Amino acid sequence: MELNIAMLSEPGGRRSNEDACDYCAVGDLSCYVLSDGAGGHGCGDVASNVVAHAVLERFREAPGASAELVMSLLYTANQAVVTEQSRVVEQANMRATAVVLILDLVNLTAIWGHVGDSRVYGFRNGAIFMQTRDHSVVQSMVDAGFLEPESVRTNPKRSVLTAAMGNAAECEPAVPSTPLALTGEEVFLLCSDGLWEYVDEAILERELGRAVGPESWLRALEAELLRHARPNHDNYSAIAVWLSSRDAILL
């Protein structure tokens, strides 16, 4: 099994970038994390970097590919943000989203989890077969039938979250109960709302079909975003992970 990975993280129309994304591998296990920070006094970048660092540090200490581990990674990161909030007064209100993906290339499984409105998409044969559901007020209203699905990109309250990292009282990550069995030809995309707000699912699939690899795919998505984004648009970040069987590569 082969992995090809590309990352993109830009400030967009803002002065600073409050997103963070990174990944690491331990043998045939790999962990990917993306976080979008928020908070007063410009501390969103602190929160997102704390999340990314905590997730990968914990993964390196005890690598695995289970739902229980993903839950543990997110709880650990949440506590790390809470601890950092207490160190500096200006950081008391900082929060962050988090999305984590783990791939196991020996057992051919994937498991993921998230808090907030950063997303994981999964693709097979060029089409989306899974995506996370945002922890947001607007998504809740869409789920209840009060708003149309397109409202997640257009509603004025689209950025109001119902869950975020940095909540000392409660953190409820969304994690599937069991890992997903892989065929070995999947593509995964982790991204912040700064990207998916301007790049809908049809465009993700269209550009995936045109791309020759993860780097060219992300650059095409970035170009689409920049064609439509407002002057002060949000930071945008993404990690693209392409799996290919060795037999397919040899062909």
Q: How far is CA 174 from CA 92, 106, 171, 177, in A?
A: 25, 25, 10, 9
Alpha carbon distance 198, 192 (integer Å): 11
> Rounded to 5, what percent of the chain is helix, strand, coil?
35, 30, 35
CATH label of the domain that carries residue 124 = 3.60.40.10
Is the model more confident about 34 or about 168? 34
* pLDDT value at residue 166: 93
Residue-wise pLDDT for 162-201, tens only, equals: 999 998 777 889 999 999 999 989 999 999 999 999 999 9
Alpha carbon distance 155, 196 (integer Å): 14
* pLDDT at 19 exceeding the cut of 80: yes
* pLDDT value at residue 249: 37
Per-residue pLDDT band at 250 (split at 50, 70, 90): very low
Q: Report the relative pairing of strands 236-244 and 180-181 from DSSP bridges.
A: unpaired
Alpha carbon distance 198, 235 (integer Å): 12
| Parent domain of 221 | 2-250
* pLDDT at 16 exceeding the cut of 80: yes
Alpha carbon distance 131, 193 (integer Å): 13
- Tell me the mean pLDDT in the region 85-102: 92
* pLDDT at 248 exceeding the cut of 50: no
How many structural domains does the chain have? 1
Question: pTM for the complete prediction?
Answer: 0.94
Alpha carbon distance 246, 250 (integer Å): 6
* pLDDT at 215 exceeding the cut of 90: yes
Q: How far is CA 188 from CA 18, 150, 200, 229, in A?
A: 22, 22, 15, 24
- Tell me the mean pLDDT in the region 189-214: 96
Per-residue pLDDT band at 40 (split at 50, 70, 90): low
Per-residue pLDDT band at 246 (split at 50, 70, 90): low
Of 102, 55, 60, whose CA–CA distance to 74 is shortest?
A: 55
Q: 222 in helix, strand or coil?
A: helix
Q: How far is CA 236 from CA 17, 109, 207, in A?
A: 8, 28, 17
Burial of 185 (0-12, 13-18, 19+ CB in 10 A): middle
What percentage of the chain exceeds 90 in pLDDT?
77
Calculate the dihedral angle through the C-alpha atoms of 42, 43, 47, 48, rounding to the nearest 10 degrees.
20
